[in-house]
Amino acid sequence: MSELPPCPKCQSVYTYEDGALLICPECGHEWTPGTEENGEPEFKDANGNLLADGDTVTVIKDLKLKGSSQVLKVGTKVKNIRLVEGDHNIDCKIDGFGAMKLKSEFVKKI
């Protein structure tokens, strides 16, 4: 039996195979064996589609805005997103709300 490589993100030795992917149970990172990681993080929407800077997305659930009584409604279109690392990984400006940060799991790519 061949030995699986450690996770390229967290260096965990507990990786396992799932079909053609290798998965790390500690950090949740998935990668294809034999591909070199370029060090750039990948951000996925609620459906698993890869997001890129400049994409247009829609909100998939009502989101309460912290410090405000306003709610960001389902279906709100967000244009020209910018991906950043951190707790919230999308920086954007929304008409009527201004600049804000969103989590990628609450949006869907158009």
Report pLDDT digits (tens) over 41-58: 788 999 989 999 999 999
Q: What is the pLDDT of residues 1-20, one digit of tens each?
A: 468 888 888 888 999 998 88
Q: Hey, what CATH topology would domain 57-109 get?
A: SH3 type barrels. (2.30.30)
User: CA 75 to CA 23: how far, in whole Å?
Assistant: 32
Q: What is the pLDDT of residue 36?
A: 53
CATH 2.30.30.40 in the chain, residue ranges: 57-109
User: CA 65 to CA 71: how far, in whole Å?
Assistant: 6
Q: What is the pLDDT of residue 45?
A: 93
Paired with 90 in beta bridges are 83, 102
Predicted confidence band of residue 37 (pLDDT cuts 50, 70, 90) = low
Q: Hey, what CATH topology would domain 1-37 get?
A: N-terminal domain of TfIIb (2.20.25)
Q: Whole-structure pTM over 0.75, yes or no?
A: no
